[in-house]
Structure 1
Amino acid sequence: MSLARNTIVQSTLTLGSRVLGFTRDLALSARFGQGPMMDAWATAIMLPNLFRRLFAEGAFAQAFVPIYGGVRAAEGEEAAAVTASEALSFMFAVVTGFCIVMQIAMPWIIPLLMSAWKHDAGVMSVAITATQLAMPYLACMTIASLLSGVLNTGGKFALSAGVPVALNVCTLFPLLAPTFIPSMSQPDTLLAVSAAVTVSGLVQAGLLWWGVRRLGVRLKISLPKLTASVKKTLALAIPGAMAGGALQLNSVVSQVLTGSDAGARSVLYNADRLYQLPLGLVGVAIGLALVPRLTRAFVQGDHEGGQKTLDDGINLAMAFTLPAAVALFVIPYFIIDSTVTRGAFTHQDAARTADTLRQFGWGVPAFVLAKVLTPPFFARMDTRRPMIFAVTSVVITVVLGASLFFWFSHIGVDGVLGLAIATSVSAWINVALLWGTLIREKAWTPSAGFVSRISRVLAASGVMAALLLAAGIFYPELSKLFLAKEIAVLIVCGAGAVVYGACLFLFRAVTPAELKAVLRREPGASVQGGGLD
C-alpha cells in the first residue's frame, strides 16, 4: 500500500475506536464529574496507559520492525518467526514481572500520585484496588505491540488499527450498568471499569494472535532467553522508549504535580483525551506506516525515495492535524461544554477544562510532528540522539511545568494551565531538535514543493480558524438556533471541515490527481498470506 492508503486505513479504524472512547469518557464524566472517583480513574488508567503507549505505539514497535523486517528479508519467514518469538518471550516475562512488582507497591505509589486524597481512606482503598485491577493490561499490550509489528511488516494494517475498539467496548458496559442497577455505587462502578480494562487487553492480544497466524507466521512463547536478536531489540528499544515516549513521560510529571490539587487530575484527563485524538489518528498511524518504508529506502540506499516518503508523511500529518489543532485552540469551551457537560460534570468544570485544552491545542502539531520525525532515526538504527532530545524535552517540562504550576497557583491562576503550557513548549523544542538534525545531516532536505504545500495548508487552516472564531462568539445563539448544543457543535465542526477541505483544493494544497496518485497501491507492496485488509 501507499503511505496515504496505510495511513487512511489505520486512521479510519482508529477513528471508530476513538469515537467509542469519547462516548466512554462522556459516560465517565457524567457518572463521576471531577470528583475523587474521576481522579482515581485517571490514576488507575495512567500507569498501564503510559507503558502501553511506549510499547504498543512507540519505541518497542519501531525498534522491533526494522530488526524483524531485516531478518525476514535476509533469512526468510522462518528465521523471522524465531526472532519474533524470542523477543515476545523475553519482553512478556520482563513486563509481567514488572506488573507484579507494581501491584505489590501500589499502596505506596497511589498516595504519592493522589496526595490531595491521601487522608481519605475510602478513596485511597478504591484507587489502589482499581489500579491493581488495570495494571495487567500492560502485559497484554506487550504481546499486542509485537504482534502488530509483525502484521504491519507483512503489509497488514487493518487489524492492528481496529482491535483497540475492544478497550472502549469492554469499559462501556460497566459504565452503563448503573442505568439498570441503580444501587450500584460510584466505587463499585470504578472497580468494574478498571477490571474491564484488563479484560479488553486479553481480547486484543487474542485477536492479534489470530491475525498473525492467518498471515502464516507461527510464533511461540517459551522460557525467556537473552539471545542476540533480543539484545539488539533492547539496545534500540530502551533509548527509543525515552525518545518515542517523551510526551508520556511529560504526562507523568503532570500527573504527580496535579495530585496535590483535588479535581486537577480530572481536568488533565479530559483535556488529554481530546488533544491526544489527532495524535492517535494521524501521528501514530503515519509513524507506523513510515518505519517499513524508510527502512526499505535506507537498506536499498534510496535517498530520493526516503526524502519523498518524509515529505509526504509531514504533509499528510499537517493536513490532517492543523484543523484539529485550530479547533482545540479557537473553540475549546464550545467543544467541551456542548459535548461533556451533563450529569455530575458542570459548566464550571467545562470552563476549567477548556482553558487547559487551549494551551495543549497549540502544541498538537508538535506532538504529531515528533511521531513523524522520529522514524527516520529508527530506520537508520539511531536511537541515541532521539533519546537525548527526548530527555531534554522532559527536563524542560519538569522545570518549566513545576515552576509555572506553583507560580500560577500562588497568584490565583489554575496551576494546570502551567503544565499544559510547559508540555506544548517542550514538544516544539523536541521537534526543533529532530528537524534540525535531519536537515543538518542532509538526511532530509525540505523541497520547494514541500514548503509550498505546507504554506497552502496553513492558509486553509487560517480560513477555517476565522469561521470557528465567529461560531464560538455566537455559541449560545447557535445552540438555540439548532435546538441543542450537541447539534450545534456537530454543524459547526462539519462546516469547518467542509470549508477547510474546499480551501485545500482552492489553494491547490491538494489536487484531485495528486490525491488519486497517493492513494494508488504501490507496485510490489502487497504481501501475500493474510487477507486481513
Structure 2
Amino acid sequence: MSLARNTLVQSSLTLGSRLLGFVRDLALSARFGQGPMMDAFTTALMLPNMFRRLFAEGAFAQAFVPVYGGVKTRDGDEAAAVTASEALSFMLAMVAGFCILLQVVMPWIMPWLLSAYRDQPEVLRAAVIATQLAMPYLACMTVASLLSGVLNTGGRFALSAAVPVFLNLCTLAALVPPMFLPIPQETVLLMVATAVTVSGVIQAVLLWWGVQRLGVRLKIGLPCLTPNVRHTLALAVPGALAGGALQINSLVSQFLTGSDEGARSVLYNADRLYQLPLGLVGVAIGLALVPRLTKAFVAGDHEGGQRTLDDGINLAMAFTLPAAVALFVIPFFIIDATVTRGAFTSADASRTADVLRHFAWGVPAFVLAKVLTPPFFARQDTRRPMIFAITSVVITVVLGSGLFFWFRARGWDGVLGLAIATSTSAWVNVALLGGVLVRENSWKPSPAFLSRISRVFAASLVMAAALFAASVNYGLLSHIFLAKEIAVLIVCGVGAVLYGACLFLFRAVTVSELKATLRREPGAANVSGLD
C-alpha cells in the first residue's frame, strides 16, 4: 500500500474508535462531572491508559517492527516467529509481575496519587479498588502491542487499528445502564474499571487470531532472556520510551495534579481532545512509515527515504494544523457545546478550554515527533530518541512543577502551567530529532516540501479567521441553529470545507497528486482478506 492508503486505513478505523470514546467521555462527564469519582476514575485509568498509548498505539510497535522485520528478512519466517514468541513470553511475565506488585501496594500509593482526598477515605478506597480492577489491562496491552507489530510487518494494519474500539464499547456497556437506574456512583466506577480489563482481554484475543490467520505461529512459554530477547529489549524499550515521550509527560502531569481537587478531571478532558489528532494522524503515519523507511534503509535508497519522510511530514501537517487551529481558536465553543450537561457545567467547560488552548499549540509538535522518530527506528537507533525523550520529560517536570505551583500561588489555575510545559517540551523534542536528521543528511527538506508546507499554513490561517469570527458569535449561532450542538457541528463542518477548498486553491494539493498518493504501489502486498 502507499503511505497515504496505510494512513487512511489507520486513521479511519481510529476515528471510529475515538468517536465512540468521545461518547464514552460524554457519559462519564454527565455521570461524574469534575468531582471526586471522576478524579478516582482518571487515576484508575492513568497507568493502563499510558501503557495503551505507549505500547498499543505505536511506540513499542515502531521499535519492534525493525527488529522483527530484520530477523524475518535475514533468517526467514520461522526464526522471526521464534524471536517474537520469546519476546512475548519474557515481556508478558515481567509486566504481569509488575501488575501484581502495583495491585498489592496500591493502598499505600493512592494517598500520594490523590493527595487532595486524603481526608476522604471513601474516595481513596474507591480509587484503589478501581485501579486494581483496571490494572490487568497492562498485561493485555503487552500482548496486543507485540501482535500489532507482527501484523504491521506483514502489511496488515486494519485489525490493530480497529481493536481499540472495544475499550470504548465495553466501558459504554458499563455506563449506559446506570444512566437509567439508581446505581451509586462508586458502584458505577467499579463497573467501568472492570470493563477496561475485559476490553483488554478481547483485544488481545482478536489480535492473536489475526496473527494466526496471517500464518505466524506464536507460542507463549517460560520466560527466558535469550540473545534475541536481549537484542529486542535493547532496542524496543528505549524505542518505546522515545516514542512515548508525550505519554510519559502526561503521566508526570497527572501526578502533579493529585493535590488539586478537580484538576485531574480537567487534565483528562483536555487530554482526550488534544490527543485526537495524535491518534488519528501521528500514530497512523508513524506506523506506516516504519516498514517503508526500513525497506529504504536496507536497500540503501537514500532518495526514497527522504521522499518518504517529506510525504509523511506533509501529510501529517495537512491533517494536524487545522485540528490544532480549531482547538486553539474555539476550545470553549467545542467543549461547552458537546460536553456541558448533567454534572458538567459551563464553568467546568471554561476551565478545561483554557487548558486545552495551551495544549493546542503543541499539537503539531506531538504529531511531528511521531513522524520524526521512525527514521531512527528504521536504522535501529533507539538510544538518541530516548535521550531526547528523557530531555523533554525533564523539561516537563522542572518547568511544569514550577509553573504549576507558581500559578496556584498567584490564584491562577495550576493546570495551565502543566499544559504550557508539555507543549514546550514537545517542541524541544522535535527540534532535537529534526536537528539530528538534518545535520546527518538523513533528511534535507526539499524546496517543493517547503513550498507545500507554507501553503498548508496559509490555508490554516484562513480557516482560523473564520473560526474566530464564529467563536465571538457563539451565543448568536446557537440561537440561529436552535441548539449549541448543531451550531458547533456546522461551524466545524464549514471550517473543514473552507480549509479543503483553500488547499486546492493555494495548490497545496492537486487532484492528480491526491489520486497518486492513494494508489496502491506496484508490487505491494495484498492486504485484503483480514484487513
Q: Classify the TM-score, shorter chain.
A: over 0.9
**SS at 2:223's partner residue?**
coil
How far off its partner does 1:42 sit?
A: 0.6
> Within 1, Cα distance between the matches of 2:290 and 2:511?
27
Corresponding residue of 2:167: 167
Corresponding residue of 2:451: 452
Corresponding residue of 1:292: 291
Matched residue type, 2:448: G
> Within 2, Cα distance between the matches of 1:336 and 1:59?
29
Corresponding residue of 1:128: 128
Q: Is the 8 A contact 2:6 2:288 kept in 1?
A: yes
**Greater Cα offset, 261-270 or 42-51:** 42-51
**SS at 1:259's partner residue?**
helix
**SS at 2:259's partner residue?**
coil
> Within 2, Cα distance between the matches of 1:143 and 1:221?
10
Q: Is the 8 A contact 2:282 2:370 kept in 1?
A: yes
**Greater Cα offset, 229-238 or 426-435:** 229-238
Q: Any residues of structure 2 matched to 1:28-427 within 5 Å, and which?
A: 28-182=28-182, 184-427=183-426
> Within 1, Cα distance between the matches of 2:497 and 2:341?
29
**Alpha-carbon displacement from aligned partner over 1:137-163 (angstroms, at most 9, x marks no partner):** 010011011111111111111111011
Matched residue type, 1:195: T
> Within 1, Cα distance between the matches of 2:179 and 2:428?
47
> Within 1, Cα distance between the matches of 2:63 and 2:307?
22
How far off its partner does 1:391 sit?
A: 1.0
Q: Is the 8 A contact 2:63 2:240 kept in 1?
A: no
Q: Is the 8 A contact 1:29 1:344 kept in 2?
A: yes
> Within 1, Cα distance between the matches of 2:109 and 2:337?
36
Matched residue type, 2:361: W
How far off its partner does 1:57 sit?
A: 2.5
> Within 2, Cα distance between the matches of 1:178 and 1:147?
35
Q: Is the 8 A contact 1:154 1:527 kept in 2?
A: no
Corresponding residue of 1:531: 529
Matched residue type, 1:102: L
**Alpha-carbon displacement from aligned partner over 1:347-391 (angstroms, at most 9, x marks no partner):** 100000000000000000000000000110111111111111111
How far off its partner does 1:521 sit?
A: 0.6
> Within 2, Cα distance between the matches of 1:71 and 1:414?
51
**Any gaps of 5 or more consecutive residues in structure 1?**
none
> Within 1, Cα distance between the matches of 2:150 and 2:8?
19
Q: Is the 8 A contact 2:13 2:161 kept in 1?
A: yes
Q: Is the 8 A contact 1:85 1:220 kept in 2?
A: yes
Q: Any residues of structure 2 matched to 1:424-439 within 5 Å, and which?
A: 424-439=423-438
How far off its partner does 1:180 sit?
A: 3.4
Matched residue type, 2:530: L
Q: Is the 8 A contact 1:295 1:379 kept in 2?
A: yes
Q: Is the 8 A contact 2:116 2:261 kept in 1?
A: yes
Q: CA RMSD in A?
A: 0.9
Q: Is the 8 A contact 2:333 2:474 kept in 1?
A: yes
Instruction: Give the % identical residues.
Output: 77
Q: Is the 8 A contact 2:31 2:179 kept in 1?
A: no
Q: Is the 8 A contact 1:170 1:197 kept in 2?
A: yes
**SS at 2:525's partner residue?**
coil
Q: Is the 8 A contact 1:283 1:369 kept in 2?
A: yes
Corresponding residue of 2:462: 463
Matched residue type, 2:518: L
Matched residue type, 1:139: A
Matched residue type, 2:8: I
How far off its partner does 1:64 sit?
A: 1.3
> Within 2, Cα distance between the matches of 1:240 and 1:218?
25
Q: Is the 8 A contact 2:3 2:289 kept in 1?
A: yes
> Within 1, Cα distance between the matches of 2:460 and 2:180?
45
**Greater Cα offset, 267-276 or 389-398:** 389-398
Matched residue type, 1:178: P
> Within 2, Cα distance between the matches of 1:95 and 1:522?
39
> Within 2, Cα distance between the matches of 1:67 and 1:386?
16
**Alpha-carbon displacement from aligned partner over 1:171-201 (angstroms, at most 9, x marks no partner):** 001111113322x110000000000000000
Count of residues in Structure 1 that have an aligned counterpart in Structure 2 = 531
> Within 2, Cα distance between the matches of 1:125 and 1:63?
38
> Within 1, Cα distance between the matches of 2:324 and 2:59?
25
Q: Is the 8 A contact 1:106 1:132 kept in 2?
A: yes
**Alpha-carbon displacement from aligned partner over 1:88-137 (angstroms, at most 9, x marks no partner):** 11111111111111111111111111000022110010000000000100
Q: Any residues of structure 2 matched to 1:506-521 within 5 Å, and which?
A: 506-521=505-520
**SS at 2:341's partner residue?**
coil
Q: Is the 8 A contact 1:33 1:343 kept in 2?
A: yes
Q: Is the 8 A contact 1:393 1:427 kept in 2?
A: yes
> Within 1, Cα distance between the matches of 2:520 and 2:71?
25
2:487 aligned with 1:495, yes or no?
A: no
Corresponding residue of 2:10: 10
> Within 1, Cα distance between the matches of 2:499 and 2:49?
33
Q: Any residues of structure 2 matched to 1:470-485 within 5 Å, and which?
A: 470-485=469-484
How far off its partner does 1:509 sit?
A: 0.4
Matched residue type, 1:403: G
> Within 2, Cα distance between the matches of 1:87 and 1:180?
46
**Greater Cα offset, 56-65 or 465-474:** 56-65
**SS at 1:119's partner residue?**
coil
Corresponding residue of 1:20: 20
How far off its partner does 1:527 sit?
A: 4.7
**Alpha-carbon displacement from aligned partner over 1:475-514 (angstroms, at most 9, x marks no partner):** 0000010011000000000000000000000000000000
> Within 2, Cα distance between the matches of 1:192 and 1:463?
46
Q: Is the 8 A contact 2:135 2:197 kept in 1?
A: yes
Matched residue type, 1:522: E
Q: Is the 8 A contact 2:20 2:169 kept in 1?
A: yes
> Within 2, Cα distance between the matches of 1:228 and 1:279?
34
> Within 1, Cα distance between the matches of 2:320 and 2:498?
15
**SS at 2:310's partner residue?**
helix
**SS at 1:24's partner residue?**
helix
Q: Is the 8 A contact 2:60 2:243 kept in 1?
A: no
> Within 2, Cα distance between the matches of 1:345 and 1:161?
31
How far off its partner does 1:445 sit?
A: 0.4
**Any gaps of 5 or more consecutive residues in structure 2?**
none
Q: Is the 8 A contact 2:67 2:380 kept in 1?
A: no
> Within 2, Cα distance between the matches of 1:369 and 1:450?
15
> Within 1, Cα distance between the matches of 2:287 and 2:228?
21
Q: Is the 8 A contact 1:9 1:157 kept in 2?
A: yes
> Within 2, Cα distance between the matches of 1:50 and 1:180?
31
**Alpha-carbon displacement from aligned partner over 1:240-293 (angstroms, at most 9, x marks no partner):** 222112111111221111111100000000000000000000000000111111
Q: Is the 8 A contact 1:356 1:420 kept in 2?
A: yes
